[in-house]
A and B are shown apart, each in its own frame.
Chain A
Amino acid sequence: AQSVTQLGSHVSVSEGALVLLRCNYSSSVPPYLFWYVQYPNQGLQLLLKYTTGATLVKGINGFEAEFKKSETSFHLTKPSAHMSDAAEYFCAVSDPSGDDKIIFGKGTRLHILP
């Protein structure tokens, strides 16, 4: 069975500082990995995904994540936080040999301090 663990339900960073949201996964097969963002009263929006190939994945809004198989991690980073980055972030995993359903972590709420 697959699972996702997001370390820290709340993370606060100052505007302009590095954003680091941690995600570790458990999977018996090489997974597909995703980061989604959820703004208040809006649906989830895909930030980036890893399927195969290059392990450093770049997404929208300046975010990127690196797939590290040895660490079973897929941490999300952004060099410089903006106020508009305040939202809930979800790491997720799916099984390429399965039926496409996504298993989500519990989410990390990112707060940006002025």
Chain B
Amino acid sequence: GAGVSQSPRYKVAKRGQDVALRCDPISGHVSLFWYQQALGQGPEFLTYFQNEAQLDKSGLPSDRFFAERPEGSVSTLKIQRTQQEDSAVYLCASSPLAGGQETQYFGPGTRLLVL
């Protein structure tokens, strides 16, 4: 596909369950970002990868959140022991090069609902 894809598109989890959200960036894109978008809010930065290196994880809300990109392409965001406040849309974005002027291309998001 030509764009960023994310799976699953929707996920319902019981409180305390672990979830894994997948992002397939545009092929060849160096930079990959994860954002969290709560209902009625703008996206908030979670973490940033340049190739396989996680250069910034300052936005991860707690140590229950973990992200990886082991081969510098596909990325997984894992949330352990989910809580109701984790309910949000999780957005993935990629850009072709490092550098803030580069356009970030966003996927459709994964909508997570924790019951």
By a beta-carbon cutoff of 8 Å, the part of chain A in contact with chain B is 4, 9, 32, 36, 41-46, 49, 51, 90, 92, 94-96, 98-107
Any chain A CB within 8 A of the CB of B55? yes
Q: Which of A90, A100, A104 contacts B31 (CB 8 A)?
A: A100
- Beyond known contacts A32-B101, A100-B98: 13 more, CB 8 A cutoff: A9-B40, A32-B100, A43-B91, A44-B43, A46-B103, A92-B42, A94-B100, A95-B100, A98-B100, A99-B48, A100-B99, A101-B56, A102-B104
Chain A to chain B contacts (Cβ below 8 Å), 19 pairs: A4-B42, A9-B40, A32-B100, A42-B108, A43-B91, A45-B106, A51-B100, A51-B101, A90-B42, A95-B100, A98-B100, A100-B98, A100-B102, A101-B45, A101-B59, A102-B33, A106-B40, A106-B41, A106-B42
Q: Is the interface of A mostly helix, strand, loop or mixed?
A: loop
B44 at the interface (CB under 8 A from A): yes
A-B contact count (CB 8 A): 66
Instruction: Specify the main secondary structure of chain B where it touches its partner.
Output: loop
Determine whether B75 belongs to the interface, using a CB cutoff of 8 Å to chain A: no
Closest-by-CB residue of B relative to A104 is B42
Chain A residue numbers with a CB within 8 Å of B35 are 104
Chain B nearest CB: distance from A4 CB in Å?
8
Assess the B104–A46 pair: CB atoms within 8 A.
Answer: yes
Q: B51: CB under 8 A from chain A? A: no
A86 to chain B, nearest CB (A): 17
Q: Mark B81-103, 1 if CB is under 8 A from A, else 0.
A: 00000000001010100111111
